[in-house]
Structure 1
């Protein structure tokens, strides 16, 4: 399910604004997941926390029922010119999904999209890459039946490495034994030649 909306965002500047404004009433209704005073303080101190809570509530409004595991809904928020009351004008990208198994992949996509905006990429290209990356993450989630891909070294590769290491050690041991034996033969042969030479010299004198 896809949708798009454009609006300006303004982060709250005081706790009284959060508690009294109608726009934040959903945070304290029994139908919504309530937030504590600590979360309110975090929203005031950190813009990213506000954006995370904002994305969560927009997601709950757009997708009230989330029951599909293999193909969950995804909400992407792109704050291009920063918040209205933030003079730094820092861009932010927040991607929220009903599946926690997508958190790692979506976190990487967020960082890549934010860097692209900072580097001045055309917005059409940023959105196209964002959609492609989200689509790839959903495709991988569907192919793995909701499981997370294992990026560790497989067991057969570990066993093959141990076999190769054992063969290398065996080859080195055999080579060391053969070379040592050959040197021993050469030394013994040289000793016989020297003793034979001495005996001939002695006879001559």
Structure 2
């Protein structure tokens, strides 16, 4: 009887003290939720979606508007606090807008993934598709860095943050309804659609946490 009572007490205490998986989202304005009320930004909406799926997770917003891959690399060490269990990396858009050499961007992302690897943290790398403004060679090099780095480090990959929006048949309507006026950042509805599409990959990331 005493043994059963002790076992029951242990079980109750263990459940009560169980901690959610902590996922840091290291990114730029797309992660930070630029131009939207706080509750409609990418991280809060993704947090809500994950909770609806029954995931015990705490998603931390480490997005900084205007940040580049170099800025992400400079922040990664203090972003990865001891309690962080997994990492989402969404960077590169500002590098592309500024015409940063893809080799430099790739090197910065490599440094971020190395930092996560040193902590044995699972990673979801979120890519972007470059515009053709800087020519086909630039676009090819930029687009290739995400899948190649994901393969090198064995990370999960979501190839293009905007894939669910750019894949819509009526692009004029998509830009009008799913993007903000600047044409760069998603609207609240755009964020909701992006979260629904990327959400299953984030669940896979959580499942990789040991």
Structures share fold, TM-score greater than 0.5: no
Higher strand share: 2
**Structure with more contact order per residue of length (Cα contacts < 8 Å, sep ≥ 6):** 2
Greater gyration radius: 1
